[in-house]
Amino acid sequence: MKLISWNVNGLRAAIGKGFYDFFASVDADAFCLQETKMQPGQVEVNLPGYYQYWNSADRKGYSGTAVFVRREPLAATYDFGGDEHRHEGRVITLAYPGYYLITVYSPNSQAELARIDYRVRWEEDFAAYIRERMAEKPVIICGDMNVARHPIDLYDPEQYEGSAGYSEQERHQFEKLLALGLTDSYRFQHPDEEKAYTWWSYMRRSRPRNAGWRIDYFLVSASLEADIRETMIYKDVMGSDHCPIGLVISLPE
């Protein structure tokens, strides 16, 4: 099974920058989006053969997730936890007989960590939600998780130490999430690969210089490690400040 995840930084804009061409060429079984920045009905997304699931933020032009899948799930649920986490369209969970597929767009802690208190609460509650799902069956979590895990995962870790996406608090919460029994699939297959980035600032010609960060992930239950076949970073696919990532895995029915 091939799965793709992509923060498109506005789907309507991405459609004008080759989204459909990539979608057709990659031929995925599941295609997960973050930061769609869309409300229902703003544009018709025509994807024959795929079931579509959308979760939009209350605020127009902000956040939002979507999942397109060939195989209809048993159920689809949106967001998690209390009311605090249910207004920004950040999570979609699809239930299948043998696993959960969860796409996530984690909150950005913002400049000078202005939103770090909420980010930590969100991470704690998200981890609790994942723990509950993992007690039922294996999970695959994908998306823009807005954190670079280790120095190898960003181009200048000394400069950005303590910044949003590379603060001690965020990295600590991410490791706590992994400690539930999750595997960072890309690092599982490529433990020492450098300059494997998924996001580049629009400033200072960051992408042509490959001055990027790896903040997009496929995390899988450790019980699925042996089923990982391939992990991909589509660094040459444009249309967003993120590039798509992929996972090929043999999944339980």
Residues marked as catalytic: 105, 144
Relative to beta strand 30-34, strand 2-7 is parallel
> What's the rounded Cα separation, in Å, for the pair 112 and 175?
22
Q: Which residue has the tokens 């956040």?
A: 63
User: In angstroms, what is the C-alpha Rg of the chain?
Assistant: 17
With a CB cutoff of 8 Å and minimum separation 6, the contacts of 117 are none
Structure tokens at 247: 């996972």
- Interhelix angle 116-134/168-178, nearest 10 degrees: 0
> What's the rounded Cα separation, in Å, for the pair 22 and 156?
30
With a CB cutoff of 8 Å and minimum separation 6, the contacts of 179 are none
In the chain, the DSSP E strands lie at 2-7, 30-34, 51-55, 65-69, 75-78, 91-96, 99-105, 139-144, 182-184, 199-200, 212-213, 216-221, 228-233, 245-249
- Amino acid (1-letter code) at residue 68: F
